[in-house]
Structure 1
Amino acid sequence: MTSTGQATPTFLRLAAHPLRWRLLAALAGGDHRVRELVTLVGEPQNLVSYHLRLLREGGLVTGTRSSFDGRDSYYHLDLDRCAAALAETGAALHPALRPPASASVPARAAVLFVCTGNSARSPIAEALLRHHTGGRAEVTSAGSRPKDRLHAEAVRVLRDGYGIDLTAQRPRHLDSVARRRFDYVITLCDKAREACPDFPGRPRRVHWSVADPATAAGTDFRRTATDIDTRIRHLVPVLGATVQ
C-alpha cells in the first residue's frame, strides 16, 4: 500500500485530542472563562490553558478581556470556522464527504437577551433572532440598567444592513420580565451576566461576551451586528433541537 503523502487536516489534529474536544464542546454552548472551563472539563488550569492556547493558535477559539473584570478573559468558539474546517476535513478524504447545506426550522421557543443598557446589543439580538425565525420564536430583550432610548447607530445598522425597523422600540428593565418563563436567557454583556437574576422554570443560561460598541475602542456597530448575527444563525438549529 502506498501513502498519498497528504497531511492530516489541522481541524482533525486539534479536535481529535480528548481534552481539546471537551473544550470545544463546552464552548459550543457559550462563552466561558478559564476557571469555568476548568470546572466543566475537570482538569487542572495549567492544562486547560495550554490546550486553549493551541485552539487559539489554530484559529478555532478567540479570547477577549472581560468588561466586568479586566483581569479575566472570555473564550469564544468560532463556529463558522469550525463548520468550514469540518467541510474541508471531509472533502480532504473524499469529495463526496463534503456535507450538504441544511436548513433547520426551530420549534417555538421563548428567548430573553440581556445586556446592561438594552440599547444596542440585546435589542440587536432580539431583532435578528425574530428575523431569522420568521417570528416563530418568542423573543424579547431587557437591561439591568436600561437607557432612555435605543442607540441611533444600532437602529441604523439594523435598518440598512438587515431591513429591520426598530424606531418604535424602547429599552426595557429586567424587572419588567422577571416573572416570565423563558427557555433560554442569553447575556451579551459581562457586567449584565453578573447582575442577571434567576427566572422561573430554570431556563438554560448562555453567555455571549460581546463588547459594547458604544464604548469599546476598535469596535463598531456593524461589526457587533455581524458577530451577533453569526451567533444567532448557530442558535437557531439549537432551538429547534432542544425546545419542544
Structure 2
Amino acid sequence: MKKIYFICTGNSCRSQMAEGFAKKAFSNEWQVESAGIEAHGVNPLAITAMAEVGIDLSKNKSKIIDNDFLNDCDVVVTLCGDAKDRCPMTPPSVKKIHWPLEDPAQATGSETERMVVFRQVRNQISDLVNDLAASLQ
C-alpha cells in the first residue's frame, strides 16, 4: 500500500484538513495520515469548516510525526514553512512536496471573520489535494 503524509507545525488545522480531503480523493491503495512537528489539538474552527463540506474531523486526534511511517512514505507534503524546515530527514525515495499555506489558526477578529480565513485555506487545500490525487493515481 502506498503512503502519504501531510505535515504542518501543530497538526491542528491545515494537515488535518488535507488528511480529510485526501481520504476522499485518494484511492484505497493509499494510506493517508497527518501529523505535526508538535501536537496542538484539532482546532474547532477546522472541524467546523470541514463539516461544512461533509468531512467529519471531530474524532481526529492531533499527532506528532511517526518517524517509521515518515520513512516508509511514498509522498510527504508539508503545509507550512516551519514544517518544511523542521521535518526530519527522509530517504531519497520519498517524494517531498511543499504547499506554503497561510495558517488559519493565526487569523484574528470575530469567529465569523476567522471562519472566512478557515474557509479560504480549506478551499485551497481541497484544490491542491484533488490535483495531487489526480497526478499520482
TM bucket (normalised to shorter chain) is: 0.7 to 0.9
**1:227 aligned to 119, 124, 132, which one?**
124
The Cα shift of 1:137 comes to 2.0
3-state DSSP class of the match of 2:24?
A: helix
Deviates more, 1:211-220 or 1:197-206: 211-220
1:155-166 matches, within 5 Å, as 155-161=47-53, 163-166=54-57
Percent identity reads 30
Give the letter aligned to residue 123 of structure 1: Q
Gaps of 5+ in 1: 1-107
Give the letter aligned to residue 222 of structure 1: R
The Cα shift of 1:109 comes to 2.8
The Cα shift of 1:202 comes to 3.0
Q: How many residues align?
A: 129
Deviates more, 1:113-122 or 1:199-208: 199-208
Q: What residue is the counterpart of 2:68 in the other structure? A: 179
| Residue 120 to residue 135, structure 1, CA distance change in 2 (3 Å) | farther
Distance in 1 (alpha carbons) for counterparts of 2:48 and 2:103? 16
3-state DSSP class of the match of 1:214?
A: helix
Distance in 2 (alpha carbons) for counterparts of 1:135 and 1:126? 14
The Cα shift of 1:237 comes to 1.9
Deviations 1:66-103 (A, max 9, x none): xxxxxxxxxxxxxxxxxxxxxxxxxxxxxxxxxxxxxx
1:61-76 matches, within 5 Å, as none
1:179, 1:199 within 8 Å by CA — same for their partners in 2?
no
Give the letter aligned to residue 78 of structure 2: T
Distance in 1 (alpha carbons) for counterparts of 2:49 and 2:24? 14
Distance in 2 (alpha carbons) for counterparts of 1:205 and 1:151? 25
Distance in 2 (alpha carbons) for counterparts of 1:127 and 1:136? 16
1:3-42 matches, within 5 Å, as none
The Cα shift of 1:229 comes to 0.5
1:117, 1:171 within 8 Å by CA — same for their partners in 2?
yes
Q: What residue is the counterpart of 2:106 in the other structure? A: 215
1:129, 1:137 within 8 Å by CA — same for their partners in 2?
no
Bigger radius of gyration, 1 or 2?
1
Distance in 1 (alpha carbons) for counterparts of 2:42 and 2:2? 25
Q: Which has the higher contact order (CA 8 A, sep 6+)?
A: 2
The Cα shift of 1:239 comes to 1.2
Distance in 1 (alpha carbons) for counterparts of 2:76 and 2:99? 11
Distance in 1 (alpha carbons) for counterparts of 2:27 and 2:93? 26
TM normalised by structure 1 equals 0.50
| Residue 191 to residue 197, structure 1, CA distance change in 2 (3 Å) | same
* CA-atom RMSD in angstroms: 1.7
Gaps of 5+ in 2: 109-113
The Cα shift of 1:160 comes to 1.4
TM normalised by structure 2 equals 0.86
